[in-house]
Amino acid sequence: MTKEIYSLTDLVGGIRLWSLNRGLEKADSSKQLIKLQEEVGELAQAHLKGYPDKQRDSIGDIMVVLTIYCQQENIDLRCCLQEACEVIWHRKGKMVNGVFVKDEDLGAD
């Protein structure tokens, strides 16, 4: 039996509805930023310890928190992702110690 995979649009819509049903869209967005830092810390810990299940859980939690933050700030998450992709698709650079470094950052101290 295969697990159903939902579209990003459906998932974001479901998160937004869940958030609306709990009044989170009116809450202080700075609380979501604190929660986001917590979730990123959990992802880093899971990564360093080699716990893939906890990595996936943390990534999901990060996406939920970002979706709610965007809802609170009236920012379209999909537009943010699209804008970022349009920039990185044309970005030039090279790998340095396993990290991609933009051309404009190479040689800058």
Domain definitions of the chain by residue range: 8-105
DSSP state of 91: -
pLDDT digits (tens, 9 = 90+) for 53-93: 999 999 999 999 999 999 999 999 999 999 999 999 998 99
Give the pTM: 0.84
CATH class of the 8-105 domain in this structure: mainly alpha
Confidence band, pLDDT 50/70/90 cuts, at residue 46: very high
Through-space distance between the first and last CA atoms of the chain, rounded to whole angstroms:
54
Comparing CA positions, the residue from 101, 79, 99, 78 lying closest to residue 91 is 101
Distance, CA of 59 to chain centre: 7
* H/E element, 43: helix 29-49
